[in-house]
Amino acid sequence: MSESDPVTRPEVDGGQVQPSEAVLAPRNRIVGWATDLGTPTTLVLLRHGETQGSVGKLFSGRGGHDHELTELGRHQALLAAEAVRVRGGVEAVISSPLRRCRETAAYAAQALGLEVAVDDDLAEAAFGDWDGLTYEQVEQRWPEELGDWLGRTSVAPPGGESIEAVEARVLRARDRIVASHQGVVVLVVAHVNPIKCLVRVALDAPPAAIYRMAMSPASASEIDYYPDGTSVLRTFGVAAHLAGAASILGG
C-alpha cells in the first residue's frame, strides 16, 4: 500500500465516538474466578514488520522518516496476516497512519477480506531531534536529556513528544475503538511505544514498566476489555508465527 492509497476511517456518530465509561473506570477482577463479566472487546495488537529503522535500532517516530517495510518485513507481515486469519474472529483492522503499519495492516486486511481504517492517535512517538539516530548517538549528543527522558515519562525529547503524551492519545484511540466495536475482535497495527502504553495501562503497572518490555517486529499481543472496565492481557509479544522467516529469505 502506498502513501496515496485510499483508506477508510472509522465512522462515528456526530463526528466523535464517545469513550466507554466502563473503560475509563476499570475494576480489579480475577478473570476465571469472578462471575460472568460479559463479552469483551479484544484488541489484537500487532507491531509492524521490519524496517531499516528497526534493523538499525533507530529512533523512528512520527514526523521523521516514514520507513517502508524491508523484504523481510513484508514476509513477516504476510506470516502475521496468516496467523491472524487462522486465529479467526477479527471483524475490523485499524492502523497507525505511518507507512510501515499501513503496509503491515494491508496484508492482514487482504487475508481477512476487510478494509484498513486509520487512527492518527496510534502513531509512534515523535522523537524530535533524535529521530533517525541510534541510542548511542543520542547518548553522546544529549546525555542529560536522554537520562531525563528515561527517568520520567513526562519528559519529551528536544522537539519531540513525551511518553505521557503518547499514552494520552493512544488511550483516546483505545476508547474510540472499544466504544465502536463492542464485543468483537479488532486487529490494531501499531508501534512499540503505543502498544507498550496499552499493555502498561491494562496491567495498571507503573510508568517505568514500559522500559521493561521488548517486542520483535510483527509480534502480537492481545488485551480483552470487558464491559465493566476489567482489562486482561491475554498474550504479549507472541512471534511463533515468524519462525524461520529470516532463513526463508536467506537472512
pLDDT tens digits, 100-122? 999 999 999 999 999 999 999 99
DSSP for 23-55, please give it: HHS-----TTTSSP--PPEEEEEEE---BHHHH
State pLDDT tens for residues 7-45: 333 433 444 444 443 344 455 666 666 567 789 999 999
State pLDDT tens for residues 123-167: 999 999 999 999 999 999 999 999 999 999 999 999 999 999 999
| Catalytic annotation, pick one of 103, 124, 161, 167 | 124
What is the chain's alpha carbon radius of gyration, rounded to the nearest angstrom? Answer: 18
> Is 0.75 surpassed by the pTM of this model?
yes
C-alpha cell at 35: 462471575
CATH number assigned to the domain with residue range 19-57+68-126+163-248, chosen from the 4 options 1.10.132.50, 3.40.50.1240, 3.40.50.720, 3.40.50.2300: 3.40.50.1240
Q: Tell me the C-alpha to C-alpha distance, in Å, between residue 97 and each of 101, 112, 114, 116, 185.
A: 7, 20, 17, 10, 20
d(CA 136, CA 145): 13
Task: Answer for the pair 70, 51: CB distance below 8 angstroms, yes or no.
Answer: yes
Task: Answer for the pair 37, 227: CB distance below 8 angstroms, yes or no.
Answer: yes
**Is 124 considered catalytic here?**
yes
Mean pLDDT throughout 157-178? 97
State pLDDT tens for residues 51-95: 999 999 999 999 888 999 999 999 999 999 999 999 999 999 999
**Is 241 considered catalytic here?**
no
Count of H helices and E strands in the chain? 9, 6
pLDDT of residue 29: 60
What residue type is 163 in one-letter code? Answer: I
